[in-house]
Structure 1
Amino acid sequence: MESPKIDIITLVENLAYQQGTKGEHGLSFVVRTSGRQILFDTGQSDLLVQNAKKMNVDLSAIDAVVISHGHYDHTGGLPAFFEINDHAPVWLKSKAFDEKMSKSTGTPRFIGLDPEVAERYRTRFRTVEQVTELAPGLKIVPEIGSYYGFEQPSQSMLIKHGKTLSADLFEDELFMVFEHSEKLVVFAGCAHRGIGNICRSAMSLTGCNQIQLVLGGTHLKGASKGRIAKTVDAFRDLQVEHFGLCHCTGLPAFMEFSRVFEEKVRYAHVASRFEPFD
């Protein structure tokens, strides 16, 4: 029997073009497969609720939420979601609750998951430390290997323990992978540990070498031309049929991917829809 297919809608992203929808610095996808609906990240505010109404997405019917990492632009929509949905568990790594900081604007500022939300809705959270299947073919993958030495987390991202600040190595980051017909869809939130590393990890886990779609942020905004070039070069050696890039990818990186991979590259703005196996 043929394995199930998948349908994906961008609910929250930086850019919005469909009338009535809005964008914000954040990310959220609705993933539908095998009669289940998964929310991958939640954006930074209640915008996911507003956009969902415009796109006729019923958030009360979401079966599970997956949080890619513990930053506000991926977790900030949780309170609004909880007001609508009283049952879906929220899957994330335990380190997503760490006190995350950024010094990108100078003085370190808090950019993590709101601790009041974490405490108020603590019964809704499920920590994931091993590969977990949410639907046939759709898995949460908590471990990201190191395949490309140039893919290093930003030095402006920090974790606060008491009064001590240390580099954030993004041990809280996870991704999702969907396997169908010996091909993969790879979902990345921000790819702080490297989009190449994430894709290679997905291939290693599944044994599939063909990626139908890479979808999400690549955290190449503000990256050097050299870093962008090395990332693009890495993908020359990978078999990727389509890219749905957005959020923290940045215009220079998006344009370089588009220059090299041409029609394979699409911007995954709000209301974009992907049905990669049709």
Structure 2
Amino acid sequence: MKITVLIENTKGELEDLINEHGLSLYIEKGNKRILFDTGKTNNFIVNAQKLGINLENIDVVVLSHGHADHGGGLLSFLKINNRAKIYMKRKVFGDYYSGNILFKKSIGINKEVFEKYSSRIEYIDNFTEIMEDVFIITDIQRNHKVPEGNKYLFVKEGTKIVNDKFEHELIMVIKENKGICMFSGCSHNGAVNMIEAVNKLFPGTSIKALIGGFHLAKIPAIDIFSTSQDEIDLIINKIVNEKIEKVYTGHCTGEKAYNKLKQGLGNKIEYIRTGSEVQI
């Protein structure tokens, strides 16, 4: 399996690529072409063209959750690809905000996506195999702490705006020959909780790689670090105890939190940047 980072907050070695606050991963496994998240704008499409990746050939798109830095480029994608099904949880359709008690900014996905392209969307409510060896996990139990930065994220329920419980977040799992790889956009439900959700459905199966963000930065766009060392240690211990072979992280993890994770995980963890390629 080959993973190419089409968009991430930081610029990698390829200077002509565009970076932005967001995440988009292009995944090739055999004859399957999967897009996991679409970044904030159409910049992931521009980068794909520069990398020689034809997004018209994408078979499926999986949206990790309903924030614009992961689904903002979806409308642009749908205009150039007329075949891929889009998989997401039903509550991705909601109205989401970031901010504080005084000021809140909309961070939801453009509603035109749901109105104009409803026939392309598949809402997933339960554990589902969307194509051979590619699974969506929707049920994530919160047995451990969730990221502290969640307190700055909100959802509209009726006429009220309340703290988001992230019922719109999912996990993607791809089965490999000798284990599985799990993908998370931001791990708003907590990285440890999400690892446990995977283990529950794939008991005794080795996790070869964990790919995605951990939301350890309070404000990821400017990498303000707010996570306690206890939370960092909890993630490190879980990764070590579960014998997860490799971790590829970036985006909302933040480089400051990454450096702390690196101290505990060493060469088991790598930071992914715009243009990074990973072979699993």
With normalisation by structure 2, the TM-score equals: 0.91
Counterpart contact for 1:25–1:44, Cα < 8 Å: yes
Is the Cα contact below 8 Å between 2:67 and 2:109 reproduced in 1? yes
The amino acid across from 1:100 in the alignment is Y
1:252-267 → structure 2 map (5 Å cutoff): 252-267=256-271
Equivalent in 227, 241, 250 of residue 224 of structure 1: 227
Unmatched segments (≥5 aa) in structure 2:
219-225
Mapped to 1, the partners of 2:145 and 2:70 lie a distance apart of 26
CA distance in structure 1 between the aligned counterparts of 2:55 and 2:186, rounded to whole angstroms: 23
Give per-residue Cα distances to partners, 1:14-51, cap 9 Å, x unaligned. Answer: 11221321110000111111311011000000101100
Deviation readout 1:44-89 (Å, 9 max, x if unpaired): 0010110001111100000111000000001110111011101211
CA contact (8 A) 1:178 1:185 kept: yes
Q: Does 27-36 or 227-236 show the bigger shift?
A: 227-236
Q: Alpha carbons of 1:245 and 1:72: their partners in 2 closer, same or farther (altered >3 Å)?
A: same
In the other structure, the counterpart of 1:183 is 179
Residue 198 of structure 2 aligns to a residue whose secondary structure is: helix
Distance apart, 1:228 and its partner CA: 2.3
- Count, aligned residues: 271
Aligned partner of 1:270 in structure 2 is 274
**Preserved CA contact (<8 Å) 1:153 1:169:** no
**Preserved contact between residue 153 and residue 168 of structure 1 (Cα < 8 Å):** no
Larger deviation: 102-111 or 66-75? 102-111
Deviation at 1:248, TM superposition (A): 0.1
Q: Is the 8 A contact 2:147 2:227 kept in 1?
A: no
Tell whether the 8 Å contact from 1:72 to 1:111 is kept in structure 2 after alignment: yes
Looking at structure 2, the residues matched to 174 and 113 of structure 1 have their Cα atoms a distance apart, in angstroms, of: 16
Q: Aligned pair in 2 of structure 1 residues 172, 150: CA closer, same or farther (>3 Å)?
A: closer
Native 8 Å contact 1:152 1:193 kept in 2? no
3-state SS, counterpart of residue 244 of structure 1: strand
- Which residue does 1:210 correspond to in 2? 206
- Superposition pairs of residues 86-125 of structure 1, within 5 angstroms: 86-104=82-100, 106-125=102-121
CA distance in 2, matches of 1:58, 1:67: 19
Pair 1:104–1:208, CA change in 2 (3 A): farther
Q: Which residues of structure 1 form unaligned runs of 5+?
A: 1-5
Q: For 1:154, what is the secondary structure of its paired residue?
A: helix
Q: Note the 1:1-278 alignment, pairs <5 A.
A: 6-17=1-12, 18-104=14-100, 106-149=102-145, 154-222=150-218, 223-225=226-228, 226-276=230-280
Over 3 Å counting, the alpha-carbon distance change for 1:150 and 1:59 in structure 2 is closer
Residue deviations 1:216-264, cap 9 Å, x none? 1000113322322332233332211111010000122201111111111
| 3-state SS of paired residue (1:65) | strand
- Cα RMSD of the aligned pairs, angstroms, is 1.7
Q: CA deviation at 1:153?
A: 6.9
2-structure distance, mates of 1:169, 1:15 = 28
Alignment partners' CA distance in 1, 2:203 and 2:132? 17
